[in-house]
A = this chain, B = another copy of it.
Amino acid sequence: MVLKKYVFIISVFILSACKNDKAETIAENTSDKNSSHPSLILTKEGVKDIRAKLGTIPLFDKTLEAVKQEVDAEINAGIEIPIPKDFSGGYTHEQHKKNFLILQKAGVLFQILDDEKYAVYIRDMFMEYAKLYPTLPLHPQERSYARGKLFWQCLNDSNWLVYASQAYDCIYDWLSKEEREHLEKDLFIPFANFISKENPQFFNRVHNHSTWGNVAVGMIALVMDNDDLLNKALYGLKTDSIAADVKDDDGGFIKSKNQKVGFLANLDEPFSPDGYYTEGPYYQRYAMYPFLIFAQALENKKPELKIFEYKDGVLIKAVDALLNLSDKDGDFFPINDAQKGMSYYSRELVTAVDIAYHYGGKNSELLSIAKKQDKVNLDDTGLSIALGIKNNEVKPFTKESITLKDGPNGKQGAISIIRNSNLELVYKYTSQGLSHGHYDKLSFSLYNDGKEVLQDYGLARFVNIEQKGGGNYLKENTTWAKQTIAHNTIIQNETSHFNGKYEIGSKNHSNEYLFNVENKKVQVVSAKEENAYPGTILHRTMLLVNDTTFINHSFVLDLYNVSSNALNKYDLPFYYSGQLMQANFKYQQQSEIKTLGSSNGYQHLFVKALADAPKNNLQFNWLDNNVFYTITSATLPTDKIIFVETGANDPEFNLRRDPGFIIRKNNTKNALFVTAIEPHGTYSPVSEFSVNSYSSIAEIKTILSTKDYSAVSITNINKETKTFILCNTNSNKEAKHTLKINNKDYNWVGPFMYN
């Protein structure tokens, strides 16, 4: 059923005929209710204030004009409400998605501009939805564990209701009582019931899906003053019939024993006290919108809940955490299931930043982010932030080195980002991250000037691109992206951490050993993982060194200690980009290309070349984005080097073709992988000058490796040597250490020294 333009034209005609009557209806409606509308993201007071300031706040006015143009174009194009059919990326999916976004925008335009055409448009569209909705069976696409009606999953139906509720709130008073009763009876209440009590496996969880479900129900409840629905939104369904071992289609558990549910539980559990959301920044971005928009609505409608103070102000902290989880360009670090390119320019982050500014003490650093976003919410929060910018209160948002703890109480590992002027080292030692987590304990990625140097693969999915599996998760997400070999960390015996089993992974987490960024010359983070492989302890320590002894000063030093009670094979991959310039060892290109293994992600790697490691030090020099990099690693002649490329056993070409190389140690119990990663030069294809194209590191050597201590020396090309010593067993800051290595005495205080 596609409504044509004449529907709109007729509506306008009817409206014109009865405009005066309408105005009276609004007055009647308003007077006979206790509550007032709008009251979710707009308030009567706020609207008054906005109207008074129109034309004087540049960023607000600019946004308003852009939104007006967008909505007017849609109104002119006419209402289209197709019968649901497609996966994301397909026509019907994208159209219903567009509809809810435009509904919300038309709502604020109606309030701010006081132009009834927007109210008419919203009412007409709602009426059509109210006609369609009762006739809808489950969505014909059957892939989801919780199929929706408008969309293939309840998740997207919930998106619809979160946005549509705001539009309803904006025209609530303008509608007649009969119209409201009709819409609520045939559309909103059945809609809310469908995504809650008819889909407890979707609604009664701790997951970003459920957050959307809870908020959808909560938002419409607030508009309708429906306490029953509001209670369900806040505290979940009292009873459901979810069995303990049921999983969703991403492989996550639906519900654990004694699991608290509802909006507040979703705030309690996935957020750490630092504001880190356990699924990672890509999903935190996705979840922040419902979290914050509902918080804003609750603050307006139920201020007694003090939602922004909940859990020591975690919602505002979460926005700060999220901004810190982005690179220099504002792109989120793509850990876990994350699509690359998502950034703080997304609409969710516009909302998040504006709300955090308005309700979080007007932190003027947020103004610089809003300025870059170049748009604001069309509500009190947007007015507030646009005013701050107008008044030149902008301060730069400075991203420092930071640790964000994971887990409801902050005791399930963490993610650390160590930064200097250009480099950003992302070190992940979190918990599993629910169903979107990857099996990559102690993995890292590295950025230079906002560009990936050593990458995290991200997810195997093309969100909303229908050609690729309906825009949904691809099977390579499980067989490649989630597997440990897809990450820059150690894999034992070609088996993923926790054997790639969610049941085990979700019960465990890594532990911080130390995080010390006080000395900008040597910023250190260290963590241990004791459960990924029973009988094996992984302990990785990463430094960002800034030392004038070395050309370009900055490099990463990586000490990866593995100790086991058995002989194992250890693989440590580095997924670089760009082109190999030179290696200091002979490698043999393969004439027939085979896969590296047959399972756990190894089946997706082509072996492009093989080599025996050099006796002392491997050096691998490459050029990427016109920057020269070298990895220098202390090796044994028994180590193997494997040059790989992704894309094997990928019959639909779902994976990117990315290069990597792996350092492999066979038949080893204990090992210390020591590696320096060094950006050291540049090339200009315009001047054709290359500067510092070779590494400044001549040698890296392990000078001591015991249970208690790891010590390495780094010698530059002028034969100057620096030493780093780590105590592996005592991270006490006050502890004094005395050590003799190669007849030299070392004395220091605290868990490490660099000199």
Contact = CB atoms under 8 A, between A and B. Distances in A.
Interface of A: 89, 94, 339-343, 345-347, 462-468, 471, 579-582, 588-589, 591-595, 606, 608-609, 621, 623, 645, 647-651, 653, 656-657, 659, 683, 685-690, 693-694
Given A347-B687, A656-B579, A657-B657, A623 B465 contact: yes
Contacts of A467: 581-582, 621, 693-694
A649 B589 CA distance: 8
Instruction: Identify the interface centre among A463, A582, A685: most chain B CB within 10 Å of its CB.
Output: A685
Given A657-B659, A693-B466, A686 B346 contact: yes
Nearest to A658: B657
A463 B346 CA distance: 40
A606 B593 contact: yes
Given A341-B686, A346-B686, 9 more contacts: A339-B688, A462-B581, A464-B690, A465-B690, A467-B694, A592-B594, A593-B593, A593-B594, A608-B647
A346 B659 contact: no
Contact of A342 (B341, B647, B659, B686): B686
Contacts of A645: 657
B683 A580 contact: no
Given A467-B581, A593-B593, A686-B346, A693 B89 contact: yes
Contacts of A657: 645, 657, 659
Interface residues of chain A: helix, strand, loop or mixed (majority): loop
A683 B589 contact: no
A593 B650 CA distance: 13
B687 A346 contact: yes
Contacts of A647: 608
B466 A690 contact: yes
The 10 closest A-B pairs by CB, nearest first: A341-B685, A593-B593, A467-B582, A467-B581, A580-B653, A589-B651, A463-B688, A464-B688, A346-B686, A345-B686
Contacts of A466: 690, 693
Given A589-B650, A645-B657, A657-B657, A468 B687 contact: no
A645 B471 CA distance: 26
Contacts of A89: 690, 693
16 contacts: A94-B689, A339-B685, A342-B685, A343-B686, A346-B686, A462-B581, A464-B689, A464-B690, A465-B690, A467-B694, A588-B651, A589-B649, A589-B650, A591-B595, A593-B606, A645-B657
A73 to B, nearest CB: 14
A287 to B, nearest CB: 15
Nearest to A98: B689
A620 to B, nearest CB: 11
Contacts of A656: 579
Nearest to A588: B651
B468 A581 contact: yes
Contacts of A464: 683, 688-690
Nearest to A650: B589
Nearest to A581: B467
A465 B653 contact: no
Contacts of A688: 339, 342, 463-464
A663 B340 CA distance: 33
A645 B647 CA distance: 12
Given A89-B690, A579-B656, A653-B579, A465 B683 contact: yes
A641 to B, nearest CB: 13
Contacts of A685: 339-342
Contacts of A582: 467-468
A491 B647 CA distance: 28
Nearest to A694: B467
Contacts of A579: 653, 656
A339 to B, nearest CB: 6
A594 B645 CA distance: 15
A657 to B, nearest CB: 6
A708 to B, nearest CB: 40
Contacts of A343: 686
A339 B626 CA distance: 13
A594 B685 CA distance: 33
Contacts of A650: 589
Contacts of A687: 346-347
A137 B693 CA distance: 28
Nearest to A684: B341
Nearest to A89: B690
A690 B608 CA distance: 34
Contacts of A591: 595, 648-649
A375 B254 CA distance: 63
Contact of A465 (B659, B686, B693): B693
A55 B334 CA distance: 50
A690 B471 CA distance: 10
A482 to B, nearest CB: 20
